[in-house]
Amino acid sequence: MSDKKLQTNSSLDEEIATLGGGCFWCMEAVFNELQGIEKVESGYSGGTIENPTYEQVCTGKTGHAEVIQIIFDPKVISYNEILHIFFSMHDPTTPNRQGADIGTQYRSVIFYHNNSQKEIAEQVIDDIENSKIFNASIVTQLEPFKEFYRAEDYHQDYYKKNSNQPYCKLIITPKLSKIRKKYFKILKKP
């Protein structure tokens, strides 16, 4: 198997965010619609083996989370904004679970790439906790970024390619509708 680590040619004007909040298909679909998002890839981070497959990650035994890796322009959308959107699109109070998706691979996790990202994430979590938006405490893990392994090709742009599939219609489309209403000012123009 070939090495699936992310190879990026990001310029100095771009930054990378790596986030896990349940199924990566949902998160990828949302972030692909936002201004300032240059690229979104689905993949795996936080585990113990190199180049895991989807089948291996689904066992919950590799320690990987399903994540998205976002390349973004901080002059257009800030890391702080990305995190607020991230927290508005999943339930960060349920450990190892998002709806019917259960297991450590669906945990809420932020893999920070530098100290600045860690500090911003800590502040955003504190702000959300203090605002009492959720009825339970946030369990989102903060971990230093180590590796990103790009998921198999059929996982990339999944919603765009499969929007008529039952999972997409029942789960992803309602999330997209919610995000489109809440963040309509920062959606990419058609």
As annotated, the active-site residues are 23
End-to-end alpha carbon distance in the chain: 38
Residue 91 near residue 15 (C-beta atoms within 8 A): no
Alpha helices in 11-70 (DSSP H): 24-31, 54-58
Helices (H), 65-184: 79-88, 115-131, 158-162, 166-167, 173-182
From CA 29, how far away is CA 31, in angstroms rounded?
6
